[in-house]
Amino acid sequence: MNQVGVDVSNDVFDATLQQGRDVVRKQFSNNSTGHRQFIRWALRQAGSARICLEATGVYHLQLALALDRHPDTEVMIVNPCAARRFAQAYMVRAKTDVIDADGLLQYLQRMPFQRWSAPREELLQLQSMAHRIAQLDKEVIRERSRLHAAHRAGPHSRLAQQDIQVHIAHLQRRLQRMRSLAYRIIANDPRLADDARIVESAPGFAELSTTKLLAELSSLPAEMTAKQWVAHAGLDPRPCESGTSVRSPRRISKQGNVRLRRALFMPALVAIQRDANVSAYYENLLKRGKAKLQAITAVMRKLLHALWGMLHHRQAWNGEAFYRLNQPNTA
């Protein structure tokens, strides 16, 4: 079996192939023609190949999908942080596309292989819609800030104010359309529709928050544990201790999916206000000396644990399973 490390950029990608004792390097165009040429090259003189890619925004996705569809290739997608730390462990000082491809080949050869499987087309569509909704939300907030500034500037900015208002109205129409399309994707897919029903039984989750959450969770491997979900979200507490002098407070790692953290934040706030069990858990954290933001983050983490259990066991929300009332000493 051939082994290949691939560093992907916008227009091209560099590949380093290990074939027996020989190492061969080549560059390909990052398009469908280049993908086909690469697969033929990676399989030469062998019946199969394992390929290691680094997650590079959206630039690696079409190549990864092509490799996943081919029966003779297996692909592993590496977190960029893991690839960078691996290279640092080998004291690699330079950074070029070719050197990065060499490093990914070494990563493939030395680390456990974890095969990536492409999500269903419906999940890719839902994720694309959710990301677009977040982009439009951000643009509406920016335009409202500009409108506020234009109002403060005085009467001479009236024409600018009108133009901003027209643009906000247009963005809101596009936002509503994207939301409707995302809701339709969920409603037309039996598995997603059932997942949405389960998630919405939890306090704080409605159509929009459920859409954002499922867009990030549904494409994860089914074998992931609740702790792995938490780590994927970057909500895992990170201890910082050294000897007897360093005992820093624990903070979340934030080395994970920021969209997933954002999808959990507002539901956590609503759940604290409206669900007795979540509120009791939050108040107990405050009594133990946690700051408000720390307590909200802990609620987000525990909510994600609860959602994992609900989706894996196909059960609706149970507040007593989240946190028992009248037990202030239990976190």
**How much is the average pLDDT of 135-154?**
95
Domain ranges in the chain are: 2-110, 121-188, 226-322
DSSP 8-state code for residue 240: E
Q: Is the pLDDT of residue 254 over 80?
A: no
Residue 251 has a pLDDT of 77
Place of tokens 């969920």: 186
On average, the pLDDT of the chain sits at 91
Superfamily of domain 2-110: ATPase, nucleotide binding domain (3.30.420.40)
**How much is the average pLDDT of 41-58?**
89
254: left (phi over 0), alpha (psi -120 to 50) or beta: left
| pLDDT tens digits, one per residue of 160-180 | 999 999 999 999 999 999 999
**How much is the average pLDDT of 286-301?**
93
- CA 175 – CA 140 distance, rounded (Å): 9
Whole-prediction pTM: 0.84
- Reference 127, options 14, 190, 11, 219; nearest CA is 219
